[in-house]
Structure 1
Amino acid sequence: MRIAVIGASGRVGREVVEVLREQGHEVVAITRSAGVDVYSGAGLGQALNGVEVVIDAANAATTETDAVRDYFRTIARNVQQEALDAGVRRIVVVSIIGIDAFTAGHYAGKLAQEQAYLEGPVPVRILRAAQFHEFTEMMLDWTTQGDTAHVPATRTQLIAARTVAEQLAALAVAESAPDRLEIAGPDELNLAAATAKLAARRGTPLQVEEVLDTSDPNHRAQADGALLPGPGTLIAGPSFEEWLDRHYPA
């Protein structure tokens, strides 16, 4: 099957590309470096020529609410139009569990993306995933000042990016599948505590502190568990501890 992957060089996109190629599919990697700009639409129609399924794993460089909503909404509308013209059979989109509760930032952008895709003519399957195990690495990169990382109070059920990629691939090739599915890891976790375990394996930073940033409109929803999976969610390993042992052996 000829499958296009938007955001093919990103954290989950590159995993999707690898999974699909291992399964013998022909992958069209859609990235700016490949000459395609999904926001402006430049090169998109040509890239989708002969494509049967599109997987959207794009990410945004901004978290400013209006900008990220515009970014994801515009991409969704562009992809829907060009996919229709190219005869694409379906679109698979990776999103985030619990985003209905959020009014700002990246989560609000992903909700706008879902809505825009569902308004289009090509059938859409949405995979809502929990935060990745790899999100703890991002937390250390983003929040460390001096010898301390300041991680927002968050309850989540972390999952490996590879596991999400495998499910995206399965949704892409299946003739029959749910229009919407949630997937999460096996254990509820405190994000700061999980990030502290990663920091201990890395040896830096020396401390990880949980913070409640009341200036963030999303702070209460994150802390209260809005990002946790609901009934019917697909639960899949590896656990965070298993992922940690694999990537950062003690």
Structure 2
Amino acid sequence: MKIAVAGGTGVAGRLVVEVLRARGHAPVVLSRGQGVDLLSGSGLDVGLAGAEAVIDVSNVITTRRSVSVDFFDRAGRHLVAAAERAGVRHLVTLSIVGVDRVRSPYYAGKLRQEEIVRGGAVPWTILRATQFHEFAGQLLNGVPGPVAVVPAGRVQPIAVREVAEALAGLAPESPLAMAPELAGPRVESLVDMARRLIAAGGARRRPVLPLRVPGGMSSGGLLPTGAGPRGTQTFADWLREKTSAMPA
């Protein structure tokens, strides 16, 4: 099956493409390097020609609400419209567990993306997944200075590859609308994850201070609320894998 992957060069997208190819599908990467611009819509009609399904893992790295909403609004509208013109039978979009419960500038854009998918004419599935194991490191990298202030909250982190495998499995099947939430195998403390990452040499060594933040993150808003598929790789497993691959 020909399956287009929007954001196919990103962290999750590269693995989605890899998994699709391993399963005998024909993935097509929708990226600027392949002549496709989601924000302008340029190249989408050519990129989607003959595609039966689309997996959208496109992303923007920002902490600004306006940037996030603008990106996911424009990219989402162009992708849905082009997919409808191409006769795509299934659009699978990756979203985030808690996106409708945790107030975040970035999440505002993801909610807009979900609204566009739901309102479009292309049959759809939205998969909300929990944070990746890399989340603690991303938080640490975003905090300069001699002390790392990390939100006091709990997450149920999952391996990126397991999310990619789930997306690749959904695309050839019938649309589900809202798929069951996908989460990792264990609930973890974000602060503890950050400290363990630093202790293992995976981030700059410095004290980690917990900060209770408003908006739902510190009160369990990022945890799944119901039954659903669960990954197998724990944060400890991921951390061992990451540190064993680091140069001595």
Same fold by TM (over 0.5)? yes
Q: Which residue of 1 aligns with 2:44?
A: 44
CA distance in 1, matches of 2:57, 2:221: 22
CA distance in 1, matches of 2:207, 2:58: 29
User: Could you state the TM-score of these two structures normalised by the residue count of structure 2?
Assistant: 0.92
Q: Which residue of 2 aligns with 1:138?
A: 138
CA distance in 1, matches of 2:203, 2:162: 27
Q: Which residue of 2 aligns with 1:161?
A: 160
Matched, 1:245 2:240: yes
Q: How many residues align?
A: 245
CA distance in 1, matches of 2:209, 2:128: 25
- Checking the alignment, whether the CA contact within 8 Å between 2:102 and 2:215 is kept in structure 1 is no
Deviations 1:4-36 (A, max 9, x none): 001111111111011111111111111112211
Matched, 1:65 2:65: yes
CA distance in 1, matches of 2:73, 2:179: 18
User: Could you state the TM-score of these two structures normalised by the residue count of structure 1?
Assistant: 0.92
- Checking the alignment, whether the CA contact within 8 Å between 1:151 and 1:208 is kept in structure 2 is no
Q: Give the secondary structure class of the aligned counterpart of 1:94.
A: strand
Deviations 1:66-112 (A, max 9, x none): 33112112211111110011110110000000111234311111111
Change (3 A) 1:4 1:208: farther
Q: Give the secondary structure class of the aligned counterpart of 2:127.
A: strand
Deviates further, 102-111 or 34-43: 102-111
Residue 137 of structure 1: CA displacement? 2.5
Q: After TM superposition, list the pairs within 5 Å mapping 1:19-34 onto structure 2.
A: 19-34=19-34
Letter in 1 for 2:208: E
Q: Give the secondary structure class of the aligned counterpart of 2:11.
A: coil
CA RMSD of aligned residues (A): 1.8
CA distance in 1, matches of 2:238, 2:112: 31
Q: After TM superposition, list the pairs within 5 Å mapping 1:75-94 onto structure 2.
A: 75-94=75-94
Deviations 1:151-190 (A, max 9, x none): 2222110000000000000011124656422111111111
Q: Percent identity?
A: 40
Deviates further, 62-71 or 170-179: 170-179
Letter in 1 for 2:233: P
- Checking the alignment, whether the CA contact within 8 Å between 1:144 and 1:150 is kept in structure 2 is no
Change (3 A) 1:4 1:212: same
- Out of 206, 220, 226, the residue aligned to residue 221 of structure 2 is 226
CA distance in 1, matches of 2:129, 2:209: 23
Matched, 1:235 2:234: no
Change (3 A) 1:118 1:220: closer
CA distance in 1, matches of 2:242, 2:167: 22
Q: Which residue of 1 aligns with 2:7?
A: 7
- Checking the alignment, whether the CA contact within 8 Å between 2:91 and 2:122 is kept in structure 1 is yes
CA distance in 1, matches of 2:64, 2:129: 22
Q: After TM superposition, list the pairs within 5 Å mapping 1:108-187 onto structure 2.
A: 108-146=108-146, 148-175=147-174, 177=176, 179-187=178-186
Q: Which residue of 1 aligns with 2:187?
A: 188
